[in-house]
Amino acid sequence: MAEDGWTECVRSLKGVILDMCGVLYDSGAGGGAPIEGSVEAVKRLKASDLQLRFCTNETQATREKFVAKLRRMGFEIDVSEVFSPAPAVVSILKQRGLRPHLLVHDDVLPEFDGVEKSDPSCVVIGDAADNFSYQNMNSAFHVLIGQEKPTLFSMGRGRYYKETDGLKLDVGAYMKALEYACDIEAEVVGKPAPMFFQSVLNDMGVQPQEVLMIGDDLVNDVGGAQQCGMKGLQVRTGKYRPSDERHPTVTADGYVDNLAAAVETILKHRG
Amino acid sequence: MAMASRRALKAVLIDLSGTLHIEDAAVPGAQEALARLRRAPVALKFVTNTTKECKRTLHERLRRLKFDIEEQEIFTSLTAARNLLEQKVVRPLLLVEDSALEDFAGIETSDPNAVVIGLAPDHFNYQMLNKAFRLILDGAPLIAIHKARYYKKKDGLALGPGPFVTGLEYATDTQATVVGKPVKTFFLEALRDLNCSPEEAVMIGDDARDDVGGAQNAGMLGILVKTGKYRAGDEGKINPPPHLTCESFPEAVDHILTHLLDTK
């Protein structure tokens, strides 16, 4: 395996951030299946002296449900180690005293239980799947167009993702629709927003150059992490496509076949 | 008095809603003005952006309001979409309201390899948009009747087709082909069977950007009428400004008859 420049940073690493879907597991029927070697790789990282966090744009479930699913697959993961957009949005809403109108998946609603939602002053959208009906888009639009300065939070900005029964539009398409309708720009919460990565770094108490991000999404995982000063590694699993290695604007610090290979190399170079 | 550059006028394009009528009422004097224009040696065409009304429905309303208009003189954004489908020889997934389907009669729609988006609240749902998305990702052209952000309903504003078109453009990293006003090809298509160039035609409408700006961008003259959706100052919103801004359709006809036609 070609080991390029990224291995040079391994000795000074203090932490690793892992993307989840496409790195740990592939989504699909019955919740999906672990990617070969990933359960063991997480175990090995946890046994090392490196700090480990997980960073996902998953907004179709609460963190608790999501982590429970991964634990059933065999992953040793704790809810407190997982960063996802919904809790991040909730803390922004509280900081700024905003009351959201929610256009999200039913299964993520409990994340917003403690948030005042009457007389909404902003809109929060996530990957709402079947809830992306014309009526619901129109309701979100009405809240926005009724504000003097419309505020739209989007949990991620992905274009699409793959499920066992085919490709599905992601939240980004619906975010763009509302942006166009109201002539505004959404505030993205989640990858690749720098604030989102920064909150993970703050939790670890480390500097960005001491952290390696590993993901299957070149732009949102790798590019987003690099923008924050971290190193970014792309795995050739999940939504990876060979053309990613010739991307016009984002070049990963390294490409590895899967998480197991990445962890093997990291631990070897730390000696 | 000699005019700077008089063109030989051969055709007049006329917008419908807001120009000839406002909902179910004719603009005062419009029927009589149209009759006067008919007696002049110019071809006429009635052009409109519609996503849900077929030509027959539009025509029936105009007849009820006593306008002397034939159905085949009407050219709409739906017709423009149909023409494009025929040119490209593709089979569309039609995201338009049922009331518009009549204008696509005879077009093969099985096993679609193109996507046409009009205003179709009943079709703008997750399943259908995913279906459209996959077709476009597989190379199907995306054709938008128009890209309006929203429109006004009796009970308030409602999303137009534009947001959904934009979302699909983003997800697939492609650009839709828009067929309605103010796109240049719309006006050229409307003139196609009239045997005249844009320089020999004038457009009358109440929408500064879509009617007048679009027509002038295509090389025609544009006359803005202060009826329908016109708001004070609209004429200043386009560059170059309208050839003429006048009170209403009858005044526009008077201008054409006295200043734009060679009455020797």
* Domain assignment present for B209: yes
Instruction: Assess whether pLDDT exceeds 90 at residue A4.
Output: no
pLDDT digits (tens, 9 = 90+) for A109-154: 999 999 999 999 999 999 999 999 999 999 999 999 999 999 999 9
User: Quick one: average pLDDT of A196-225?
Assistant: 96
Angle made by CA atoms B164, B169, B175, in degrees to the nearest 5: 125
Instruction: Assess whether pLDDT exceeds 80 at residue B124.
Output: yes
Cβ contact, residue pair B130, A168, below 8 Å: yes
Helices (H), B12-107: 30-38, 55-64, 77-88
Where among B178, B201, B217 does a domain terminate? B178
The two most distant CA atoms of chain B are separated, in Å, by 64
Res B2: pLDDT: 40
What proportion of chain A, given as a percentage, has pLDDT over 90?
Answer: 88
Residue A104 near residue A125 (C-beta atoms within 8 A): yes
Instruction: Assess whether pLDDT exceeds 60 at residue A2.
Output: no
Chain B, nearest residue to A180 by Cα: B163
Residue A101 near residue A140 (C-beta atoms within 8 A): yes
Residue B144 sits in a domain whose CATH number is: 3.40.50.1000
Instruction: Specify whether B95 is located in the same domain as B138.
Output: yes
Res A270: pLDDT: 87
Instruction: Specify whether B145 is located in the same domain as B193.
Output: no
Cβ contact, residue pair B157, A141, below 8 Å: yes
Smallest Cβ distance to B125: which of A133, A141, A159? A133
Res B210: pLDDT: 93
If you average pLDDT over every residue of chain B, what do you get? 93
User: Quick one: average pLDDT of B112-135?
Assistant: 95
Cβ contact, residue pair B171, A159, below 8 Å: yes
Report the relative pairing of strands B142-144 and B156-159 from DSSP bridges: unpaired
* Domain assignment present for B20: yes
User: Quick one: average pLDDT of A241-246?
Assistant: 91
Angle made by CA atoms B194, B200, B205, in degrees to the nearest 5: 85
Cβ contact, residue pair B166, A172, below 8 Å: no
Instruction: Assess whether pLDDT exceeds 70 at residue A3.
Output: no
Smallest Cβ distance to A169: which of B166, B171, B173? B171
Distance CA A104, CA A108 (A): 7
Where among B147, B178, B209 does a domain terminate? B178
Task: Give the closest-approach CA distance of A239 to chain B in angstroms.
Answer: 15
Smallest Cβ distance to B164: which of A128, A129, A177? A177
Residue B194 near residue B45 (C-beta atoms within 8 A): yes
Instruction: Assess whether pLDDT exceeds 50 at residue B227.
Output: yes
pLDDT digits (tens, 9 = 90+) for B191-207: 999 989 999 999 999 99
Where among B143, B178, B213 does a domain terminate? B178
Judging contacts by C-beta atoms under 8 Å, the chain A residues touching residue B158 are: 138
Instruction: Assess whether pLDDT exceeds 50 at residue B4.
Output: no
pLDDT digits (tens, 9 = 90+) for A159-194: 988 777 778 999 999 999 999 999 999 999 999 999
